Amino acid sequence: MYLENLSLVNFKNYSDLEVQFSSKINCFTGNNGVGKTNILDAIYYLSFCKSFLTSNDSLTVKHAQDLFVIQGNYQINGSTDLIYCGYELNKRKRFKRNKKEYEKLADHIGLIPLVLISPYDSNLIIGGSEERRRFVDGIISQFDREYLFELQRYNRVLMQRNFLLKQYGSFGYIDEEVLELYDEELSETGQHIFEKRKFFLSEIRSVFQKYFSHITSGTEEVALNYYSPLQEKDLKALLKESREKDKQVRYTTEGVHKDELELILDGYPIRKLGSQGQQKSYLVALKLAQFEYIYKLCGFKPILLLDDVFDKLDSQRVEQIIKLVAHNSFGQIFITDTNPARIGNVLKQIEGEYFHFHVENSQLQRIYEEV
Ligand SMILES: Nc1ncnc2c1ncn2[C@@H]1O[C@H](COP(=O)(O)OP(=O)(O)OP(=O)(O)O)[C@@H](O)[C@H]1O
Ligand SMILES: [Mg+2]
């Protein structure tokens, strides 16, 4: 599966753009602010029906215009699918596949799997534990609707339980029967969530290690540890034991909302001790593991977007990453970088096809490297 071409009308800095892509590697290089990331964002839109930079569609309409259109032709299993996304200010966003409009945007998500690695992902490494839970949950729920429903149910009951505990703080009385009902429901859904997270991590752990060792040429040791209160006891027992404490502190202290994904480099948390380049390498390996997981599940190689990934990485790691993703186990790739020479030099060494575009004045111009 790959994106053959993209057409943009009044999308961010692009008034009118038509571009043909390679089914393998596509690179966009140019100075800061010329619109490299915006191209990736348009491609992201066609997979997820939204921008990865803002949740406000009106910000993506070119200044002083009132609508944008993104269109792309995808090759999927030997046939061509035209995906259309149109948005007019103050109106609803419209999404079409082969000219037929979707009733719900959610029906489109999953058709064109995509993995993005961007500077904004650094929160996954340095942010709080909820960032890492969101990462894990986002991947599992994309292909497991039941998991998504259980997660929603868990969060809803957790909120209700916490509300009840807060009320106990104000009124000194709690309806134990209602608390019991909440505990039942939390235990049931929480236990499923725990099992699925555990399974997911066992699936990606060795793949992640393989990629990390490839990028770093095997010089550093990594571990991906999943911690959950449920590892020691089932949630029903935990909730029962912590009930008195919960009443005192007025919130639920045990459950899968306390799970943590610990990211370890050479025995220490990478969040605290890893250098910027090490953190970036870690992130890339994690996202490539995500790629492989999705590929295994849906049978298509997701489109891979690498936004500014090479910043802070040494030339050896850059080379390792490009060679890695150029390999056949990956599909179509889109890369942005400010440094055309850095990427151009590695590209001309690889065997597969690549298109290198120079971005300037809201135009794309193909560059042909001299071999
Ligand atoms: N709605 C919009 N209308 C017009 N221009 C916009 C709009 N939204 C963003 N831009 C412009 O897009 C540019 C930023 O584009 P983008 O983030 O793609 O740059 P970049 O090439 O990736 O830069 P960097 O190398 O710094 O990452 C800015 O100059 C900004 O003014
Ligand atoms: Mg950018």
Residue range 246-273: average pLDDT?
95
357 within domain boundaries:
yes
Provide the residue type at 48 as one letter.
Answer: F
Give the number of the atom of ligand 1 that is nearest the alpha carbon of residue 59.
Answer: 1
**Angstrom distance (rounded) from CA 205 to CA 223:** 8
pLDDT over 80 (residue 371): no
Q: 44: number of CA atoms within 13 Å, CB side?
A: 22
> Domain check: are 202 and 75 in the same one?
no
122 within domain boundaries:
no
Q: Of the residues 265, 288, 312, which one is the last residue of a structural domain?
A: 265
Give the residue from 228, 250, 96, 79 showing the smallest Cα distance to 172: 250
123 within domain boundaries:
no
**Angstrom distance (rounded) from CA 108 to CA 72:** 14
In short, whether 6's Cβ falls inside 6 Å of ligand 1 is no
148 within domain boundaries:
yes
> Do the beta carbons of residue 329 and residue 358 sit within 8 Å?
no
In short, whether 29's Cβ falls inside 6 Å of ligand 1 is no
> Domain check: are 135 and 106 in the same one?
no
Q: CB-based contacts of 85: which residues, under 8 Å, 6+ apart?
A: 45, 46, 49, 69, 70, 71, 93, 94, 95
Residue that the structure tokens 């998991």 belong to: 147
> Domain check: are 14 and 102 in the same one?
yes
> Domain check: are 136 and 235 in the same one?
yes
CATH number of the domain within which 105 lies:
3.40.50.300
Q: CB-based contacts of 241: which residues, under 8 Å, 6+ apart?
A: 233, 254
Q: What is the pLDDT of residues 84-143, one digit of tens each?
A: 999 999 999 999 999 999 999 989 988 999 999 999 999 999 999 999 999 999 999 988
Q: How many separate domains does the chain show?
A: 2
288 within domain boundaries:
no
pLDDT at 333: 97
In short, whether 51's Cβ falls inside 6 Å of ligand 1 is no
> Do the beta carbons of residue 29 and residue 338 sit within 8 Å?
yes
250 within domain boundaries:
yes
Boundaries of domain holding 12: 2-113+300-367
> Do the beta carbons of residue 117 and residue 308 sit within 8 Å?
no
Q: What is the pLDDT of residues 304-325, one digit of tens each?
A: 999 999 988 999 999 999 999 9
pLDDT at 20: 98
What residue owns the CA closest to ligand 1's atom 27? 32
